[in-house]
Chain A
Amino acid sequence: MSDSIADKAARATPPRVARKVRGLSDRAIAWIFVAPTIFLLLAINIFPLIWTIRLSFTDFRANRQGREVEWVGLRNYERILTDSDVWLSMQATAHFLIWTIALQVILGFALAWLINRKFKGNDLWTTIIVLPMMLSPAVVGNFWSFLYQPQIGLFNYVIAFLTGQNASSFDMLGSVDLAPWSIVIVDTWMWTPFVMLICLAGLRSIPDYIYEAAEIDRASQWRQFFTITIPMVLPFLMLAVLFRGIENFKMFDLVVQLTGGGPGNVTTLTSIDLKREAFEKWRTGYASAYAIILFVTVFGLASIYVKALNKVKER
């Protein structure tokens, strides 16, 4: 009779260890294996979260270690939710999120649709298109700030060439009206390839025989697109939206590099506002409450979205 894996493992276990674990149930042994992971998870995720929740009810300041910390109840939450500046940064974040996601989904899907067609140089074009997402956001922010420069920037020259107006007559990063769009443009340029790749995976997962069957049924190209392509790519698209939504909700580096949150506060996203409260003003308690509000918002929206995604997948 040949040895089972369990027998082999039992023989390989050193006698000292074997003596110690003898008598332990399978469940206890399982816990021993899982415990280090759970401990790490508690230490680096759960404990800081609980600690942040606790701090959010205090007036603690991390730069005043000797100062007595007062319990302020819900005052921090009340101040945040009634602060017009916080709502302005929420609006700026919503504008950024909605437009970047909309543009990236439309452009990403269109690019994926084109790339999915077999043509000469297909691989080369794919590589070229995905280049922006491989760059560091700090680098992208830096060189786009040069492209947007009113006197020497290529972007302004192209717009001037197309519209006939003076290149230095508008300032993408310095104008209250244009700055929110300038960050949308850069983020779209950088992350559309990511959405394209996910859509491409979706398009390539559709079996050819479905289209062949549709052809036999004499379905038009439009009908095939709306009844086969879109429904089958939809779960992938929704996944891309989820990823981009979470990423852009916490967007920081690219925008700081481009506008620093200005002019005024028109590009001060919530992550930038939170950083200022936590590490420039050092209002740690207030910033903790702010972080909890953002966490609950993202967590809530993401949960609803994931449920919707699962429903789409089940269809």
Chain B
Amino acid sequence: MKTFKLASASALALAGATWGGTAAAEDLTLCWAAWDPANALVELSKDFEAQSGHTMNFEFVPWPNFADRMLNELNSGGKLCDLLIGDSQWIGGGAENGHYVKLNDFFDAEGISMDDFADAAVYAYSTWPKGTENYYALPAMGDANGWFYRKDWFTDPEIMAAYEAETGQALREPESQKELMQIAKFFQGREIDGQERYGVSIFTERGSEGITMGVTGALYAWGFQYENEPGSYDMVGAVNSAEAVEALEFYKELYECCTPPGYTNSYMGESLDAFKSGQVAMAMNWFAFFPGLFADPDIGGEKIDFFVNPPQNKDASTLGGQGISVVSYSDKQDAALEYIKWFAQPEVQQRWWDLGGYAVHKSVLEDPSFIESQPFAGDFLEAMNAVQDFWQEPTYAELLLAMQERIHNYVVADQGTAQEALDMLIEDWTEVFEDDGKL
């Protein structure tokens, strides 16, 4: 803790001494995941280079290795990244272990107000401890887990009639999790245009965070909570509630009834592949991919539409997205802070959205034209208003691994019951919190 305080104080002193003026031209490196929005950020950052004279370099790591690579970098005090767009769950570790520079004084000095950004985004991406006014990141990329479907199939009169005949209901965007499964069952094994199709593609991946990000879409919709009281680490009755058990059983049934063969270790890439290859009627994935999907010449445009994670007992979506932080081990913190200052400007945020990034600045989100600007913009707003995130504790990686193991063992490997999986998850998490001195 002492080291952390010293590091933070030194970092702040250094930052405070320099952010008043423009720093000498520097080579800055920004680290993030390798995915569609990263390409948009490269494009956006050209304006920063032109204005500041700094040169931007980028270190983009594929998602399956992103956490490993970046957390190793931070834990070893590496200087590779001056700026890091780290996952929302890293904020606790970033703050408590002294990896991120605290930005409060900088925001005050530069007139950057967190009130200008969507509340859910500030809470999730910037604050530690949660909900306090201690900021370690600027909200950079809003995201949530949403759904997309084959609109051309859903509006095909023959398919619509077959669905109505089979279920007695009209084929439409699902309005509940159970309706989603009903539609998925209808499409499973159905022959369309001479090919066998399947219901849905969902996240089942074991290695990083995949199945946790997928199953929480169901858990949150059933009303899952991590604790009985926020901050109490009292999990019995919350994590393994009757609703949580039902949601987990639902996700397993959805996996078993309605996914294509072989999707036992599927995450973002596999979900996109299943949809783009025309195998599935519906798929889950992060909103970040939606601009690319809509622009796809084969399955985009009129053939695709989007919907927010359907509710069951409540509206809820799994939070994705990231904040941008200044790495405390960087020797170029003044130039990095300049980038943050530039990025926080409303006009830059608007251009960020135009290029395919998910800006969460209120000036963008509250613009009357926002909802019409993209076919998924309204769904994005709706999702962001009801997002729920995984633990953001410094021990998040251990907590995540435990959930990956317990959920994957139950859903994919068919071991035990949902109740047992959640009971064992509580045991695992309790051990982690005890080791961490929280219990």
Contacts and interface: CB of A to CB of B under 8 A. Distances in A.
Interface of A: 59, 62-67, 149-151, 168-169, 171, 173-174, 176, 256, 259-266, 276, 279-283
A211 B147 CA distance: 73
Closest CB pairs A-B (n = 7)? A264-B413, A174-B264, A66-B3, A150-B262, A150-B261, A260-B207, A262-B206
Contact of A262 (B71, B98, B408): B408
Nearest to A62: B75
Interface string B153-175: 00000000000000000000000
B379 to A, nearest CB: 30
Interface string B379-408: 000000000000000100110010001001
A265 B394 CA distance: 25
Given A150-B262, A280-B401, A66 B2 contact: yes
Nearest to A272: B207
Task: Sort chain B's interface into a size bin.
Answer: 20 to 34
Nearest to A68: B1
B207 A168 contact: no
Contacts of B72: 279
Given A174-B412, A263-B206, A263-B413, A281 B262 contact: no
Interface in B386-439: 394, 397-398, 401, 405, 408-409, 412-415, 435
Contacts of B412: 174, 262-264
B261 A171 contact: yes
Given A150-B261, A151-B262, A262-B413, 13 more contacts: A63-B93, A64-B97, A64-B394, A65-B3, A174-B262, A174-B265, A174-B412, A256-B207, A263-B265, A263-B413, A264-B409, A279-B68, A280-B397
B75 A265 contact: no
Contacts of B86: none
Contacts of A280: 68, 397-398, 401
B206 A171 contact: no
B35 interface: no
B418 to A, nearest CB: 15
A63 B413 contact: no
B4 interface: yes
A168 B262 contact: yes
A262 B398 contact: no
B146 interface: no
A150 B264 CA distance: 11
A66 B328 CA distance: 15
A135 to B, nearest CB: 21
B264 A262 contact: yes
Contact of B397 (A59, A266, A281): A281
B323 interface: no
A281 B401 contact: yes
A72 to B, nearest CB: 11
Contacts of A168: 261-262
B405 A151 contact: no
B260 interface: yes
A63 B71 contact: yes
B397 A282 contact: yes
B262 A282 contact: no
Contacts of A65: 3, 75, 77, 97
A261 B207 contact: yes
Nearest to B99: A63
B1 A66 contact: yes
A96 to B, nearest CB: 17
Contacts of B75: 62-63, 65, 282
